[in-house]
Amino acid sequence: MKQGDDIMINGACYVRVSTDNQLENYSIEEQTDRLKAYCKAKDITIVKFYTDGGYSGGNINRPGLQQLLSDVENKSLDAVIVYKLDRLSRSQKDTLMLIEDKFLANHVDFISINENFDTSTPLGRAMIGILSVFAQLEKDQITERFTMGRIGRAKSGYFHGGGYAPTGYHYVSGNLVINEYEALQVKELYKRFANGHTVHDCWQYMNKKYASKNGVWKSETLIRNVLKNQVYIGKVKFKNAVYQGNHIPIISEALFNEVQEIFRTSRKDMDSLKRSPFKASTLLSSLVYCGKCGAKFHGEHGNYSCYSRTKGDKRYVIDPDCKNKKWKAEELDKTVIEYISGLDFSELEDLSPEEPHSLDYSHRIKEIEKQIEKLIDLYQVGNIPIHTITEKINTLTKEKSILQGTMDTINDTKPTLIDLKAAKDRFADLLLSGDLQEKRYCLTILIDKIIIDDDHVNIIIRQA
């Protein structure tokens, strides 16, 4: 670029303010004023200002910059002028690519007025490489400070979700606060999965019964993510490190660990979600343990066998020399069925029932009633279409019904003894033609574990 009285130089001015402009002190107005003054002093005619407000310099996917590059390729410019080098880019690689492959390749010079150089001089070309290194360094330092801040928040127990709250919580002023209606759903999901239902079964059930903040439990992936998220036991995670959170947990650690163990032992958590979710093919899967080495038994080729003896999966082998007896699946199933059928809970009748856990959703129910009243008022005024009003009222009414029903069910029952009796009766009804998964569900309510020691079978019933 040669300047002279008889040569008109067409310049394009590029200005940018990132999302972190409060840290940079380079407003669009300030950049624009300085660029105008510079071009006037250098007799450069400003063809156009290209502006990117609120865009990071970490990449080149910016509308203003892309338009500038398009015009550069159309050969309509002699020079590109910026206030400061990092306004063009904070990436060393991108800076050099833009200047060498885009500007200079199209015979367009580049000027940065703050650093006082331009590419029409040898010194300016040399300085480009040097200054872009420092621009990259500054970007890396900002990223490091930002990351350290996020790690600090995590160590202090704050959830980092960018304003997004996981199902079961609200995100209020940087903190997770329990959403009672959704927390109720999360608890039910964990219990159903722990009681033998697959991810697919749980998804169908939850999607049919409830509506989450996004409308529905929209996928099996969401079900799986909720079941594996440590936020529900009061933890927060950042960069693969787990810290104690300062929010209230929804799920007990015992139940969470039980669910994770099911994922590990049943292989439900497969890498490919295209495969069908695992369903146990034997009645007693996940309930039988070895009395000699403590490993789990698993069903294979019509037998229940100790993992240590079969050595089928090294993760579950405890004693490679275990010689515990294999059991024919049909024989062990028959033994357990006969035992369950002969259970008598009458001796528990005279015991004082456990004090039921009381749930109170009355505050939320009153809020729902007020919201419904407001919606009716809005309809009478005529501000909102009737189909919108109806849809919102139906959603609120459904939530109210579920909350009220949950309060009535939990607060009026003696859960332990009644659950055991109901599970036994239901299991008896299912014996002839019932679904295997339903039978397993009943047994997981009744049985804590089954311990096999050669010919000896010890069936441990859950405590009422």
Which segment, 57-61, 287-291, 406-410, is predicted with the most confidence on average?
287-291
* 156-193 pLDDT, tens digit each: 666 766 557 888 888 887 788 888 888 888 998 998 88
Residue range(s) of every CATH 3.40.50.1390 domain in the chain: 9-150
Confidence of residue 19 (pLDDT cuts 50, 70, 90): low
pLDDT (0 to 100) of residue 267? 47
Q: Which has more pLDDT, 346 or 353?
A: 346
Residue range(s) of every CATH 3.90.1750.20 domain in the chain: 156-279
Burial 20-42 (b: 16+ CB within 10 A, else e): eeeeeebebeebbebbeebbeee
Average pLDDT over residues 31-52: 93
**Cβ neighbours of residue 93 closer than 8 Å, sequence gap 6 or more:** 136
Q: What is the CATH number of domain 9-150?
A: 3.40.50.1390
Confidence of residue 21 (pLDDT cuts 50, 70, 90): very low
Confidence of residue 372 (pLDDT cuts 50, 70, 90): confident
* 186-242 pLDDT, tens digit each: 998 998 888 878 888 888 888 878 755 555 687 788 888 899 888 898 887 776 677
* 397-409 pLDDT, tens digit each: 766 666 666 555 4
Helix or strand holding residue 151 (H, E): helix 122-155
What mean pLDDT is reported for the chain? 77
Q: Is the pLDDT of residue 36 over 60?
A: yes
* 99-139 pLDDT, tens digit each: 888 998 899 999 999 877 778 777 777 766 666 666 566 66
Distance CA 404, CA 287 (A): 35
Q: Which has more pLDDT, 297 or 356?
A: 297
Distance CA 16, CA 90 (A): 11
Closest to 81 measured CA to CA, from 51, 57, 113, 52 = 113
Q: Rounded to 5 degrees, what angle do the CA atoms 354, 356, 359 make?
A: 165
pLDDT (0 to 100) of residue 302? 85
Distance CA 450, CA 199 (A): 25
Q: What is the CATH number of domain 156-279?
A: 3.90.1750.20
Has 18 been annotated as catalytic? yes
Residue 356 phi/psi, 5-degree rounding, is: -65, 145
Beta-sheet pairing, 297-300 with 303-306: antiparallel
**Active-site residue identified among 18, 89, 286, 308:** 18
Q: Is the pLDDT of residue 268 over 50?
A: no
